[in-house]
Amino acid sequence: MAYWRRSSRQMQAATGQVAVAPTSPVTEKPKSRSRMMRQYDLVERVRTYNPDTNEDLLNRAYVYAMKAHGTQTRASGDPYFSHPLEVAAILTNLKLDDATIVAALLHDTIEDTEATRAEIDNIFGHEIGVLVEGLTKLKRLELVSREAKQAENLRKLLLAIADDVRVLLIKLADRLHNMRTLEFVPHASRRRIAEETLDIYAPLAGRMGMQEMREELEDLSFHTLDPEAYAVVMQRLDALADRNRNLIGEIESQLSKKMQKHGITARVYGRRKQPFSIWTKMERKSVGFEQLSDIYGFRVVMPDVESCYAALGVVHTTWPVVPGRFKDYISTPKQNDYRSLHTTVIGPGNQRVELQIRTEEMNQIAEFGIAAHAFYKEGMGSPTERLEHESNAFAWLRHTVGILSESANPEEFLEHTKLELFHDQVFCFTPKGKLIALPRQANVIDFAYAVHTDVGNSAVGCKINGKFAPLSSELQNGDEVEVLTSVAQSAPPSAWESLAVTGKARAAIRRATRTAVRDQYAGLGRRIVDRLFARAKIEYADDKLKGALPRLARASIDDVMASVGRGELKASDVARAMYPDYKEERMVRYGAKKSLAVKLKLKAPPHPARSASVIPVRGINSDLPVKFAPNGGAVPGDRIVGIVTPGEGITIYPIQSPALKDFEEEPERWLDVRWDIDETMPQRFPARILVHNVNEPGSLAQVATVIAEHDGNIDNISMSRRSPDFTELTIDLEVYDLKHLSAIIAQLRAKAVVAKVERVNG
């Protein structure tokens, strides 16, 4: 969200405009000139579109809110009650029902006055009480950051919106009036409010199809965030309007005459794009003002769908069409219910003319979105019930809120909300023809999760328009995408989270990753517990552990095992919870050297009689959270030990690793482990060697060639010059086992350019 970051000097260079004096900070509060709407004025505004309005209800709400706010004032000096009154007035322009207008009048009473929810319910009814409660911010939030507080309040608001869409309409009207009066707010708060509006509320209005409100919120935010750039755009627009004063009327006239000539009734009118929309397009395409060809757009409003396509035929047979500029949003509506035909032609005076052809109903939905639905009509069920059947936009919102509410923390929720709300869309198809709408820049990973979470989790490849492509491929409008899945992949790679664009995909990947990691820790914990019980010769049973869960303060057996695997609980604690008389056998210490010797003896290859108590190691892609010693690794054939690190799993060390001395005083972290290699599926393991190489041309190439010819894989090389004649190479390799590593070392030693080779055990 950095549309305003381009400097005003860059803007002036792009538009050819002279410099504009920078706006000076507000040194004193401007004086408000607002005149408060009277009680009967509000009633009359509602009566114009709803003759059956409950006048008594409106009057009672007016008086109650005015008394509740009492002598409170706004930053402008106006009575505070003027704000909820203006919010109600904005909603009368959208022709909303009585309950919505009343809730708008009362929307700040619970939060800012002595009024209570119970009192609102008692006087105005439960329905209005629910609406007002949904608009009330959470108090006493014990959260560290401002972003966390913002996110928790947004979560509460969105959940209320999902239950009743009228909460959203009131909130948007509330934010619109606050933005209209932002000049009276202290200068330090303006930018924060404007950024929040541009990040969340303007995109939310757009997602709900309320384009006029979105544009006004964007322009008011733009004016606050970059007043100089806003002024430059407005000056250029005004200059262009003076130059083309007659052109707009001429185009409207010619379009109308062409329609009449073909017997088509149409209402034609032109409008110019808003400053913020122009600025973002200049930013996105890196073009100057003069290079923009669609500053003016013309709407052709028709009586029905058939005449829309007839009008399109007239336009396309009269003027040349600009290639690639036709879009049919009637047959394929946008997710916010927007429907229209878009085309661009070279019209009168060789001017590019952008046309939107739609019906009157489509025009209403394009301007007012979900607010265009007849909320105030009686006998049609609740607004939410009607919108479930009438509005794709609201269905999307409820679905999105369900996904977002699963976010693990407030900041994550806020991030996902912005991702879901902001992006424009591309439309792609499954092989069976199902339409999938995604944000721009989305890729196949996002597509897979949009189809189904299980498809995303098991995706291993894809075809786009019949051709194999990477899962990270960015999708374009009209792409047919086939996702290839595998039952062998139960969880997605965690790296996908950084590749995904949609909040749904990111949340699902994060959730699957957490589940997979938890399962790994639970598996490790169960093996540690089994090992201890086998050594102690006591019986383990899930039923017996279930009865001991309260003593371990865990909700389930899996929680216990995962806690043991993470190192949060000891296996001995589990035994003691199940068998209160259990006494842990502690290892006898004989001093540092003898202690290590005793411990190492425990790690010797297991005796068959106690093989069940030894944990098998399959490698990094096993069902256990396993990694290898960071400075040297370990390979099959090495005698190995495992060291448990809380929260990180098991680190595997070769028995000769000097790093094991660091764990001498922590016997509870040592595990018996053994290799469990599937010979039918060879897997590479990490090892490190130190090579003293003769310093001559081609010597490094000879070393690399030996490793490659013997099927070793070089993961990393570092070099240091120890003398003028020799270079020391530290090489991280991937090999199959100890025999493979020894063969590579032997071949390196046979080379004349190699003075010395030794394995490194970190």
Q: Do 163 and 19 share a structural domain?
A: yes
Boundary-marking domain end, from 372, 406, 432: 372
CATH classification at residue 718: 3.30.70.260
Q: Higher-confidence residue: 557 or 395?
A: 557
> Per the domain annotation, does 611 fall within a domain?
yes
* Structural domain span for residue 549: 512-578
In the predicted structure, residue 596 carries a pLDDT above the cut 70: no
In the predicted structure, residue 324 carries a pLDDT above the cut 60: yes
Which pLDDT value is given to residue 293? 62
Q: pLDDT digits over 413-434, tens only?
A: 555 555 555 555 677 888 887 7
Ordered strands of the 649-654 beta sheet: 626-628, 649-654, 640-645, 670-671
Boundary-marking domain end, from 372, 405, 439: 372
Q: pLDDT digits over 540-580, tens only?
A: 888 888 888 888 888 888 888 888 887 778 888 888 888 88
Which pLDDT value is given to residue 621? 53
> Per the domain annotation, does 487 fall within a domain?
no
Q: Do 622 and 526 share a structural domain?
A: no
Q: Do 619 and 537 share a structural domain?
A: no
**3-class DSSP state of 227:** helix
Which pLDDT value is given to residue 1? 37
Q: Do 211 and 240 share a structural domain?
A: no
Q: pLDDT digits over 135-170, tens only?
A: 876 444 443 455 666 666 666 666 766 677 788 889
Q: Do 741 and 600 share a structural domain?
A: no
Q: pLDDT digits over 211-224, tens only?
A: 889 899 999 999 99
Length of the chain: 762
User: Residue 405: which pLDDT band, with cuts at 50, 70 and 90?
Assistant: low
> Per the domain annotation, does 70 fall within a domain?
yes
Distance CA 618, CA 257 (A): 79
CB distance 121 to 96 below 8 Å: no
Q: What angle do CA 524, 528, 534 make, to 5 degrees?
A: 140
Q: Higher-confidence residue: 399 or 692?
A: 692
CB neighbours of residue 740 within 10 Å: 22
With 0-12 / 13-18 / 19 or more C-beta atoms within 10 angstroms meaning exposed / middle / buried, residue 457 is buried
CB distance 226 to 4 below 8 Å: yes
Token code pair at residue 128: 């209005």
Distance CA 212, CA 281 (A): 18
For helices 503-536 and 444-451, the axis angle rounded to 10 degrees is: 80
Distance CA 697, CA 695 (A): 7
User: Residue 368: which pLDDT band, with cuts at 50, 70 and 90?
Assistant: confident
User: Residue 77: which pLDDT band, with cuts at 50, 70 and 90?
Assistant: confident
Asked whether the whole model's pTM tops 0.85, one would answer: no
The mean pLDDT value for 367-371 works out to 76
State the number of CA atoms in the 13 A half-sphere of 177 facing the CB.
Answer: 21
> Per the domain annotation, does 416 fall within a domain?
no
Least confident segment among 72-81, 200-209, 618-627, 689-698: 618-627
Rounded to the nearest angstrom, the gap between the alpha carbon of residue 657 and the centroid of all alpha carbons in its chain is 44
> Per the domain annotation, does 628 fall within a domain?
yes
Q: Please report, for residues 325, 399, 420, the alpha-carbon distance to residue 439 in angstroms, rounded to integers and kept in the order given.
A: 20, 15, 8
For helices 227-243 and 8-15, the axis angle rounded to 10 degrees is: 20
Q: pLDDT digits over 295-309, tens only?
A: 778 899 999 999 999
Q: Do 222 and 303 share a structural domain?
A: no
In the predicted structure, residue 20 carries a pLDDT above the cut 50: no
Which pLDDT value is given to residue 181? 92
Q: Do 701 and 667 share a structural domain?
A: no
Distance CA 520, CA 566 (A): 10
Which pLDDT value is given to residue 493? 85
Rounded to the nearest angstrom, the gap between the alpha carbon of residue 203 and the centroid of all alpha carbons in its chain is 14
In the predicted structure, residue 694 carries a pLDDT above the cut 90: no
Distance CA 668, CA 406 (A): 37
Active site residues: 111-112
Q: Do 213 and 253 share a structural domain?
A: no
Q: Which long-range contacts (CB under 8 A, 24 or more apart) does 338-345 make?
A: 338/209, 338/211, 338/362, 338/365, 338/366, 339/365, 339/366, 340/366, 341/308, 341/309, 341/312, 343/312, 343/315, 343/316, 344/293, 344/294, 345/315, 345/316, 345/318, 345/319, 345/320, 345/321
Which pLDDT value is given to residue 285? 66
**3-class DSSP state of 44:** helix
Which pLDDT value is given to residue 600? 31
Could you give the number of structural domains in the chain? Answer: 5
Share of residues in the chain with pLDDT > 90 (%):
23
Q: Do 169 and 94 share a structural domain?
A: yes
Which pLDDT value is given to residue 269? 84
Q: Higher-confidence residue: 533 or 151?
A: 533
> Per the domain annotation, does 76 fall within a domain?
yes
Q: pLDDT digits over 261-272, tens only?
A: 888 888 888 877
Which of 386, 385, 363, 366 has the alpha carbon at shortest distance from 374?
A: 386
Boundary-marking domain end, from 650, 675, 700: 675
Q: pLDDT digits over 22-36, tens only?
A: 333 333 444 455 568
720 DSSP β-pair partners: 728
User: At 512, phi and psi to the nearest 5?
Assistant: -65, -40
692 DSSP β-pair partners: 728, 756
Distance CA 492, CA 446 (A): 12
Q: Do 245 and 176 share a structural domain?
A: no
Q: Please report, for residues 10, 40, 93, the alpha-carbon distance to residue 97 in angstroms, rounded to integers and kept in the order given.
A: 47, 17, 11
In the predicted structure, residue 57 carries a pLDDT above the cut 70: yes
Which of 512, 517, 511, 506 has the alpha carbon at shortest distance from 491?
A: 512
What mean pLDDT is reported for the chain? 79
> Per the domain annotation, does 119 fall within a domain?
yes
Q: Do 717 and 620 share a structural domain?
A: no
Q: Higher-confidence residue: 270 or 123?
A: 123
Q: Do 198 and 104 share a structural domain?
A: yes
> Per the domain annotation, does 466 fall within a domain?
no
DSSP label at residue 556: S
Distance CA 121, CA 72 (A): 23
